[in-house]
Structure 1
Amino acid sequence: MDYTREELMHIVSGQMPERRWGHTLGVMESAVALARRYGEDPQRADLAALLHDVAKYWPIEQQEAVIRDHQLNMELLDYDKQLLHAEVGAYVAQQDYGVEDTSVIDAIRYHTSGRVGMTKLDKIICLADYIEPGRDFPGVDRIRELAEHSLEEALVAGLDSTISFLIEKQKRIFPTTVLARNDLILQIRSK
């Protein structure tokens, strides 16, 4: 990697409003705690959490251009613009900040949508984004409680919350999110 943790913190914090930086710090804290609880490398969780929203406040046009110019997941362009920053953030982490660990890059890429076959690190970053201490939405306390004993059950509750919100707002649901939820349910049932 081309940067120290402190350098990355300075760079990332400068690309977002102070409130979002507070969110990022909360995701980092939650990700490290989940990593320790579930046997994942806390340093990898910390790095993925630090970079998970690196492109969140880039102009939408710039995010779309990165996806088009580098032939990333073009399907995202047809869905809610809130999904773009994860794909762009993964690209930026690798290309601009020298992150070589593909599991960290994937955890950034899938933190908003999930995916079938989520790795433990994917689950941790996605879940940490839901439950960080600054989050306050209906059902978050239940998701936090579920996270005490099951990444999968907590993530299903988080994805259910997201899907319900999108349905209520009459927005399209990214198919990967539905597939991720179904896969997590199968994982829970097979235990």
Structure 2
Amino acid sequence: MDFSGKYTAFKREELMQEVQMHMSERRFQHVLGVEEMAVALAAKYGASKEKASIAALTHDYAKERPDEEFELIIKRDGYDQDLLNYGNAIWHGLVGASMVQRELGIEDEEILEAIRLHTTGAAKMSLLDKIIYVADYIEIGRNFPGVKEARKVALVDLDEAVAYETKHTLLHLIEQEQKIYPKTIETYNYWVVGKAEQSV
């Protein structure tokens, strides 16, 4: 895919190289898998394939940065200080988007928001938000109970895929006795409980 120059000054190959320099090979392979899935979902559901590609390539840009770097940015840049009670799983999306903006010069708000929300989701999600959220969960390198079903759902109904992923992510976090970020619960209440209530 050739980028238009509207959303990033980088050509696709250049952006891939920038991203690759900031992560392990394993993480980079995941990123490429997410891009492939995101572009396919964008084609299916009528979103910008270019935006899907850029958001997917950069969604984990900050994933392997040290915790100290995130903590410094959270304290310095006016984030809700409650964020300090969470960890990389939350930080690399919410805070990582600002690193993408600052270091890669990507200013498009829809792309940045998709990066911010790719692990937590939200009640209000754009088509691109949903595509990156789901693509991250079902890319071809993922292998866990339920992922095949999640892929099937994603090809039929993107909103249902958001609900499926949110429900199973929450179940996993509860089983692991991990702290749950409030936005994840908000996502669950809207996409799982809210949708179920609407269908009654």
TM-score between both structures, scaled by the size of structure 2? 0.90
Which segments of 5 or more consecutive residues in structure 2 lack a partner in the other structure?
Answer: 1-7
* 2:152 counterpart letter in structure 1: E
* 2:107 counterpart letter in structure 1: E
Greater Cα shift, 39-48 or 78-87? 78-87
Q: Equivalent residue of 1:58, what SS? A: coil
Contact between 2:63 and 2:88, CA under 8 Å: does it hold in 1? no
1:47 aligns with 2:54: yes
Contact between 2:94 and 2:116, CA under 8 Å: does it hold in 1? yes
For residues 23-172 of structure 1, the aligned pairs below 5 Å read 23-172=30-179
**Aligned counterparts of 1:38 and 1:108: Cα–Cα separation in 2:** 19
CA RMSD, 1 decimal: 1.6
**Aligned counterparts of 1:25 and 1:90: Cα–Cα separation in 2:** 18
* 1:144 counterpart letter in structure 2: R
Contact between 1:34 and 1:124, CA under 8 Å: does it hold in 2? yes
Greater Cα shift, 2-11 or 165-174? 2-11
**Aligned counterparts of 2:59 and 2:46: Cα–Cα separation in 1:** 20
Contact between 1:153 and 1:188, CA under 8 Å: does it hold in 2? no
Contact between 1:152 and 1:188, CA under 8 Å: does it hold in 2? no
1:80 deviates by 3.8
**Aligned counterparts of 1:183 and 1:169: Cα–Cα separation in 2:** 23
Other-structure match for 1:18: 25
Q: Equivalent residue of 1:170, what SS? A: coil
Q: What percentage of residue pairs aligned between the two structures are identical?
A: 42
Aligned residues: 191
Contact between 1:73 and 1:87, CA under 8 Å: does it hold in 2? no
Which segments of 5 or more consecutive residues in structure 1 lack a partner in the other structure?
Answer: none
**Aligned counterparts of 2:93 and 2:32: Cα–Cα separation in 1:** 17
